[in-house]
Structure 1
Amino acid sequence: MRTLYVVTHPEATHHVEGVVGGWYDSPLTPAGFRDADSIARELRSRVPSGTEVELYSSDLRRTRQTADAVAAMFHVKPHLDPRLREKSYGEAGGRPQEWLDRSFVPPPAVGERMDHDEGVPGAETKGAWAQRLYEATDAILASPCEHQIVVTHGGSITFVVASWLRIPLASADYVSFRAPSGSITVLREDDYFHNRQLTSLGETGHLSPGA
């Protein structure tokens, strides 16, 4: 049984400052660091002792700091992969959220959605964003390790899950599996049928009250 635990980083400074995240390299807040420790403890309680664990993370500070808490608990070194980053919002990164809201052009209900221009200079298209997450997930799954932990972002988790479920990239234009900050999503593949399950999405019961 292969199990992937997909973690979305907890509270970062861009959350409380009301600015756009994306590739803006915000660190965790004090509450975020506490929740990172809670995530690590919860994962330790789920993974059998003595089993091999691989840890993968986006290379942005907020995910690295989350991965560091997990790494300390499991005594492993995280593999940092920039392909696991959040979507790039180009010039909007680090600016007030209101700036992005005024500039953003939402995708059409029908028609071309993957290469849609959102009206923000330098922003990634959904297609480019999804492509790198699919590639990152494929690289993770190339390893035979049965227990893997992936630390990513609340938007990017959509394409980790979609790739896991073998949803074709061309069919991911309407897919959304968003999960709360600091959450744990569990993905499992059985050894007999090799069916892949989305066992749980966005669990937050391990977080402290008020998180």
Structure 2
Amino acid sequence: MRTLYVVTHPEATHHVEGVVGGWHDSQLTAAGVRAAVTIARALRAQIPDGAEVELFSSDLRRTLRTAEEVAELFGVKPVLDRRLREKSYGEAEGRPQAWLDRRFVPPPALGERMDHDEGVRGAETKAVWAQRVYAAVDEILRNPCEHQIIVTHGGSLTCVVASWIKMPTESAGYAAFRAPSGSITTLREDDFFHNREVVSLGDARHLGSAPAG
């Protein structure tokens, strides 16, 4: 039995400042740090003592800080992987969200969605974004470890879950798995059929209540 716990980082400065995240290297707020401690404790309560645990994280400060709290409770060192970053929004990163909203070109309801140009210079297409997250997840799952933790971002959670259920990347253009900041998504694969289950999506009960994003 393999269980994968996917953590979306809690409140970061770009949330409260109203600026675009992406690869903008914002950090956790004081509330976010407190939430990261709570996340670590929630994971510790779910994973048996003595179990082998692997921890992977996006290398941006907000995810790394979250991973550090988890690492301390489990006595492991996080493996940093830039492929687990949020989608890059190019020149929009760090700018007011309204700046991006005025320029953003949404994908068509029908037609090419994965390679769609959103109208923002330097931004990743959804195809490039999905391909790098898929590659990171594939590499993580090559390790025969029973309990693995991934600390990533709210947007990239969709790519992690889509990869987990082996959704073809060309179909991921329509996928959206929403989860609150600071949530834990639990994925499990059984040893007999090797079916991959989404046990819970965006569970934030450990936080009491949390805003989406």
Name 1:132's counterpart in structure 2.
132
- In structure 1, the partner of 2:154 is 154
- 1:59 equivalent in structure 2: 59
Q: Which amino acid letter does the alignment assign opposite residue 191 of structure 2? A: D
Kept after mapping to 2: 8 A contact 1:190/1:196 = yes
**Partner amino acid, structure 2, of 1:164:** W
Other structure's SS at 1:73 match = helix
Residue in 2 that maps onto 1:38: 38
Aligned to 1:81: 81
* 3-state SS, counterpart of residue 173 of structure 2: coil
Q: CA RMSD in A?
A: 0.9
Are the aligned partners of 1:8 and 1:152 in contact in 2 as well (CA < 8 Å)? Answer: yes
Which residue number corresponds to residue 172 of structure 2?
172
How far, CA to CA, are the matches of 1:83 and 1:146 in structure 2? 22
Check 1:210–1:199 CA distance in 2 against 1; reply closer, same or farther (3 A cut).
closer
Residues 5-16 of structure 1 aligned to structure 2 (within 5 Å): 5-16=5-16
Q: Which runs of 4+ in 1 moved over 2 A?
A: 208-211
Please, which runs of 5 or more residues in structure 1 have no aligned partner?
Answer: none
Partner of 2:200: 200
Secondary structure in structure 1 of the residue aligned to 2:148 = strand
SS in 1 for 2:70: helix
1:172 is displaced (CA, Å) by 1.1
**Take 1:209 and 1:184, find their aligned partners in 2: how far apart are those partners?**
13
What does the per-residue CA deviation read over 1:98-142, in whole Å, with 9 as the maximum and x for residues that have no partner? 000001000000000000000000000000000000000001001
Tell me if structure 2 keeps the 8 A contact 1:35–1:208.
no
Per the normalisation by structure 1, the TM-score is 0.98
Report the residue type matching 1:62 in the other structure.
R
- Summarize deviations over 1:21-41 as a string: whole Å, max 9, x none: 000000000000000000000
Unpaired segments of 5 or more residues in structure 2? Answer: none
Residue 22 of structure 1 pairs with residue 22 of structure 2: yes
Distance 1:210 1:178, change over 3 A: closer
Distance 1:209 1:122 in 2: 35
Q: What is the total number of aligned residue pairs between the two structures? A: 211
Structure 2-normalised TM-score? 0.98
Cα distance per residue 1:175-210 (max 9 Å; x no partner):
111211000000000011110000000000001456
Check conservation: 1:6, 1:152, Cα contact below 8 A: yes
Deviates more, 1:163-172 or 1:120-129: 163-172
Report the alpha carbon displacement of residue 80 of structure 1 after superposing the two structures with TM.
0.2
Aligned residue identity for 2:68: D
Q: Partners of 1:209 and 1:158 in 2: how far apart?
A: 21
Q: Supply the AA of the counterpart residue of 2:130.
A: A
